[in-house]
Structure 1
Amino acid sequence: MTKTAIVTGGGRGIGQAIVERLLQDGMNVVTCGRGAEPADLPEGAVWVQADVVTKDGIDAIMKAAGRVDVLVNNAGVQVEKSVADSTDADYDLVMDVNCRGVFNMCRAVLPQMSETGGSTVNIGSISGMVSDPSMALYNASKAFVHGLTRSIAVDHGPKVRCNAIRPGWIMTAMAEDGFALANDPKAAMADALARHPVGRFGEPGDIAKIVSWLASDEAPYVTGECITVDGGMTAASPLNPGLF
């Protein structure tokens, strides 16, 4: 039987790469976003204009998918502020999408997956374990995702496997926004690059490959894990290896 996957936030960047990879894996893929269908949506994917924060949005996504074998919670937003500078509106935006949206989608698929089996992959971040400056709400929201992942794995096994991926610096528009916070963005990027043992920043496809494996039957004994995919950056000490 052909598997069906839901990928939230599949209109660009990491989400789009995940959609492409799961289609290549032979899955039916339903993806969604708050805007209109992107012109470059991968052929074969089904687009639903929906907000994962709302009940109507969740219902529309679930109706389009029908049976769900794989859920990938990728939709996310960031606000580049410290706690002191963050407003109530900032809090609501980040926590609604990054926390409530993931919770909503997991809750929606769990009754079915608990009967038929399934795999959920949540896109967290290294920012949920090592805090990026001036990204307080984003950092906190990703820590929530990691905690929720472990709870789902514990509470809903053995039928349901739930894992998270903690991407590092994956070159997308969100990453560029993060570097733009620096006093000298070019210098900040050069310094960050020097801290990557693999010698490069990540690409969306790097994350899609790990999603593909976790969602497949090749990872039957992997659940409750938060897998860091950051080119080795957080494995290193704070010393800049480029200076030695």
Structure 2
Amino acid sequence: MTTTHIAFVTGGSRGIGRAIVERLHADGARVATCGRGDRPAYLPDDVVWEQADVASPGDTERLVARTRDLLGPISLLVNNAGVLVAKTVADATDDDWDLQVGVNCRGVFNMSRAVLPEMTEHGGVIVNIGSISGVVADLSSALYNASKAFVHALTRSIAIDHGPRVRCNAVLPGWIETDMFDEGFALAGDPEAARRDAISRHPAGRFGRPADIAGIVAWLASDEAAWATGQCFTVDGGLTAASPLRPEAF
């Protein structure tokens, strides 16, 4: 990373968020992160932790102000915080909608709105964590799928409205080995069979790891990606590149 960022990563307690925090910190960034629970044990002492709900505009304004006071103006925002409501439209409740849209959509909007005034003045980078589920829908995850499509569209709008001072891109992970990933397979009638079938559909021969996503986030934050903006980068081990036809059909 050629630019020394003051970075804020939402949802940094575990999974992809943790990997991003660890990678940015290792690359020399000054990092702050947040989550709904207590400070995670893995965090180095010099990483700022704040307990917050990104769905709350008041919380996001506080997060940005606190980071500015402790580290300086945020030059890199990674909107990673997300939840999964595994229901169809017919089964989803108003509470499900509020939770899914609150974190995945409003959270990205709130944090971006909070940092953009200073970024527009001083320059900055926003990286949003979308999903292939916002492009190809997962079963029984209607609200989640729609929420990630929102993230992709908001990414393009931020890029065209706030460039050239601000670059904004999205990373679209495929199936990454996280707690949310395990919860998804638990819904299958035979989780182990479902996992074997899923791996067979990946040309890369494995599921993704949080560090795979952290790597492309670090690149997008760097000067090497200076001409990349308004784009959605799919990182899925080749899953969505393949036809649904299986070799045994021939």
Question: Same fold, TM exceeding 0.5?
Answer: yes
Alignment match, 1:19:
21
Counterpart Cα distance in 2 of 1:4 and 1:101: 20
**Paired position in structure 1 for 2:113:** 107
Distance 2:248 2:11 in 1: 36
d(CA) in 2 for partners of 1:57 and 1:63? 10
Q: 1:69 maps to which residue?
A: 75
Q: Find the partner of 1:200 among 198, 201, 206.
A: 206
Cα deviation, 1:52-74, whole Å, max 9, x if unaligned, reads 11133112211222101000000
SS in 2 for 1:19: helix
For 2:202 and 2:129, the matched residues in 1 are separated by 21
1:84 aligns with 2:61: no
1:36-95 CA-partner distances (Å, limit 9, x unpaired) = 111222453110011111133112211222101000000000111111110000000000
Q: Which runs of no fewer than 5 residues in structure 1 stay unpaired?
A: none
Q: Rate the CA distance shift 1:131–1:220 in 2: closer, same or farther, 3 A.
A: same
Partners of 1:194 and 1:241 within 8 A in 2:
no
Indicate the RMSD between aligned Cα atoms, in angstroms. Answer: 1.3
From 178, 182, 191, give the equivalent of 1:185.
191
AA at the equivalent of 1:200: R
Q: Could you say if the C-alpha distance between residues 195 and 45 of structure 1 is closer, same or farther in structure 2, counting changes exceeding 3 Å? A: same
Which residue does the alignment assign to 2:215? Answer: 209
The aligned amino acid for 1:109 is V
Structure 2 partner of 1:40: 42
Pair 1:28-2:17 in alignment: no
Deviation per CA, 1:93-140: give whole Å up to 9, x if none: 000000000000000111111111110000000000000001110000
TM-score (norm 1): 0.97
Shift of 1:242: 7.1
**What secondary structure, in the 3-state scheme, does the structure 1 residue paired with 2:125 have?**
strand
Answer with 180-189 or 194-203: which moved more: 180-189
Task: For 1:181 and 1:36, locate their aligned partners in 2 and report how far apart those are by CA, in whole Å.
Answer: 28
Paired residue for 1:125?
A: 131
What is the CA–CA distance in structure 2 between the aligned matches of 1:241 and 1:172, rounded to whole Å?
29
- Segment of structure 1 superposing worse, 233-242 or 118-127: 233-242
SS at match of 1:218: helix
- In 1, the alpha carbon distance for the partners of 2:234 and 2:188 equals 24
Q: Which residue of 2 aligns with 1:171?
A: 177
The runs of at least 4 aligned residues of structure 1 exceeding 4 Å deviation read 241-244
1:241 Cα shift? Answer: 4.5
Partner amino acid, structure 2, of 1:10: G
**1:144 aligned residue:** 150
Q: Deviations over 1:155-204 (max 9, x none)?
A: 11000000000000000000111111111111111111001001000000
Is the CA contact 1:191–1:240 (under 8 Å) kept in the aligned structure 2?
A: no
Q: In the aligned structure 1, how far is the partner of 2:43 from the partner of 2:121?
A: 32
Q: Find the aligned partners of 1:193 and 1:93 in 2 and give their Cα distance.
A: 30
**Given the alignment, which residue of 161, 168, 171 partners 1:162?**
168
